[in-house]
Amino acid sequence: MTRARAILLGALAFAVAAAVVSPFLGEAIDFSSEGGRFIFRELRLPRTLLALGVGAALATAGVILQAILRNPLATEYTLGVASGSAFAVVLAVVLGVDALLPAWLGQPVVGMAGAVLVISLTYRAARVRDRVPPQTLLLAGVALTYLFSAMILAVQYRATPADAARILRWLVGSLETAHGWAAPAIVGVAVALGLAALLPLGRAFNAMGGGEEAAAGVGVDVRRVVRRGYLAASLIVGVVVAFAGPIGFLGLIVPHTLRLMGLVDNRYLIPAAALAGGGFLALCDGFANLLPGQQLPVGIVTQLVGGPFFLALLLREKRRF
């Protein structure tokens, strides 16, 4: 068995273990009572499945955008996709637009609309004749990130205290929308469709690692691959941000952790990142239930856990040189 396949199987085992363990972390559930069974069936289990889907989407988007831009620090937040989607949801909350549709429908529609807006703006701003240079795309994304972040702060500042508090809780990243099965079902479908579009591009992304000209020389339609990868990654980010808010760090820590383990082939890195990202977020949400007092939003936990973990990995790799 090759190293890449071994790491992929390890990521699968990690995701399965996280899915099994996470719902049981926290206060013990009395399965002998109807109330206990309801909590597990309608609250904890859907929340775990939503975490798996959200984590998979964000980690996969990180891999794709890093491959497109050939920049190891690129994430869905670097290119403004998450900021645009977040601004659309925040504006909908303040204007009451989200109340016009059911939460399971209104949130993904608004989030995807914001993502599509940013995709269009970034792509048009970065396009040079018939090409989209990675450096220009990155700069355009960073500029739009700052713009939409400022607009989010402006809307929040002018909102009522109740709306401002609601926006703040959502902006730190949370899985509180997982009441019932609608949210995990929609996110799961979005992630499945996104992976179906992205997995066949793994070989093309490997070729693009040597530059666009080298990839074109071996028959890769670089423009089509970039457009398809950017669109698919952005849309799944738009859906998950609408439900869970802008949970940070997953698009950076998961791909780089897998690369530090020796997995660089995008054919295996894309599915491995999806599995590891989902498992990591599910465990972070489960551990949040173990903390005393009011439960921390999972967006805070991912950074509290992920930051030291990633730093430890870097220090371990540094000792090898």
* Residue 320: pLDDT over 80: no
pLDDT tens digits, 8-33:
999 999 999 999 999 888 777 877 78
More confident residue, 57 or 81: 57
Q: Which CATH class is domain 3-318?
A: mainly alpha
Which tokens hold the place of 114?
Answer: 């914001």
**pLDDT band at residue 318 under the 50/70/90 scheme:** low
Q: What are 144-187's pLDDT values in tens digits? A: 888 988 999 998 888 888 888 878 877 888 887 766 788 898 89
Rounded to two decimals, the pTM is: 0.89
Q: How confident is the model over 276-287, as pLDDT tens digits? A: 999 999 999 888
- pLDDT, average across residues 290-313: 78
| HEC-encoded secondary structure of the chain | CCHHHHHHHHHHHHHHHHHHHHHHCCCCCCCCCHHHHHHHHHHHHHHHHHHHHHHHHHHHHHHHHHHHHCCCCCCCCCCCHHHHHHHHHHHHHHHCHHHHCCHHHHHHHHHHHHHHHHHHHHHHHHCECCECCHHHHHHHHHHHHHHHHHHHHHHHHHCCHHHHHHHHHHHCCCCCCCCCCHHHHHHHHHHHHHHHHHHHHHHHHHHHCCCHHHHHHCCCCHHHHHHHHHHHHHHHHHHHHHHHCCCCCHHHHHHHHHHHCCCCCHHHHHHHHHHHHHHHHHHHHHHHCCCCCCCCCHHHHHHHHHHHHHHHHHHHHHCCC
pLDDT of 200 reads 93
Q: What mean pLDDT is reported for the chain?
A: 84
Domain boundaries, the chain: 3-318
Cα→Cα distances 211→69, 103, 201, 218, Å: 10, 43, 15, 11
Name the percent of the chain lying above pLDDT 70.
92
Asked if 296 and 288 count as a contact pair (C-beta separation under 8 A), the reply is yes
pLDDT of residue 292: 72
Mean pLDDT along residues 297-309: 82
Q: What percent of the chain has pLDDT over 90?
A: 25
